[in-house]
Amino acid sequence: MTLDSEMVRLLEEDYKKAPITEQDRVMLDYVVQVTKDATRISSADHERLRAVGFDDQGILQITLIASWFNYINRVADALGVGRD
């Protein structure tokens, strides 16, 4: 988390160009793929996460959190939450 509004802006624009660690970038690449098409996740994706320091528990936590946010956002969208 950060209170740095410039960092938030950079992350929103393109996290790949933001000044983040390699570990954070690999994690975000994985989260984007989970969001776009989780069926395309392979053991190679998990190996990339391991290569930057995540263990199996960390990979599970990243997957669960990303999946939960995807789920809850779809529920909210389907129910019109936040729409006028």
Rounded to a whole number, what is the distance in angstroms from the first to the last CA of the chain?
A: 29
- Smallest Cα–Cα separation from 69: which of 15, 28, 41, 23? 28
In whole angstroms, give the CA distance from residue 66 to residue 33: 10
Query: What stretch of H or E contains 72?
Result: helix 56-79
Where are the chain's structural domains? 5-79
Nearest to residue 40, comparing CAs of 32, 28, 48? 32
Q: Which CATH superfamily is domain 5-79 in?
A: AhpD-like (1.20.1290.10)
Render pLDDT for 26-49 as a digit per residue (tens, 0 to 9): 999 999 999 999 999 999 999 999
Q: Are 54 and 23 in contact (CB under 8 A)?
A: yes
Query: Does residue 33 or residue 2 have the better pLDDT?
Result: 33
